[in-house]
Chain A
Amino acid sequence: MNKLFPLLLLPLCGLALAEDNDIAMMPDGSRDMYVGMALTSRSAAEAGEPHRLSLRPLLQVEWSNGIFASANGVVGMHLSNGGPVAYGPLLAASNSRDPSESRRLRGSHAIDGSVDAGGYFDYYLGYNTRLGSSIMYDRSARGWRGEFRVQKSWNDLAPHHTLSVSAGVSLAGDAVMRERYEVSRAAGGARDYTPSGGLASAGVGVHWNYALSSKWLLSSSASATRLGGEAAASPVVERRNFFTISSGLAYRF
Chain B
Amino acid sequence: MLRAAFLLSLALLPACASAQEETDWIAYRDAYRQMIWFEKYGKPKQFLQNHFRLRPRDKSVSMDGLRLALNSKTAQVSLALDALGRAVLPFSKAAYDDNAELVINRKAGQFKAGPWVSIVTRADGVYAAADLRAACEQLLAYLRHGGEAGGKRCVGVQFTYSKNDAAQLQFHAAGGAVIALAAKEGPAFEGDVVQGFRVFAYRFAALPEAGQVVTSSTPLAIAALLE
Contact = CB atoms under 8 A, between A and B. Distances in A.
A and B: bona fide binding partners: yes
Given A1-B37, A19-B30, A83 B145 contact: yes
A214 B101 CA distance: 6
A26 to B, nearest CB: 6
Given A26-B33, A82-B37, A158 B27 contact: no
A26 B101 contact: no
Interface string B139-162: 000000111101000000000000
B197 interface: no
Interface residues of B, number: 32
Nearest to B117: A1
A163 to B, nearest CB: 15
A122 B19 CA distance: 44
Consensus secondary structure, chain A interface:
loop
Nearest to B107: A159
Contacts of A25: 32-34, 36-37, 40
A20 B109 contact: no
Contacts of A158: 109
A221 B33 CA distance: 24
B108 interface: yes
Given A126-B150, A211-B27, 9 more contacts: A1-B34, A20-B30, A20-B33, A25-B36, A28-B93, A30-B96, A126-B147, A214-B28, A214-B100
Interface of B: 24-30, 32-34, 36-37, 40-41, 91-93, 96-97, 99-101, 108-109, 112, 114-115, 145-148, 150
9 contacts: A2-B34, A27-B96, A32-B29, A84-B145, A127-B147, A159-B24, A214-B28, A214-B29, A214-B100
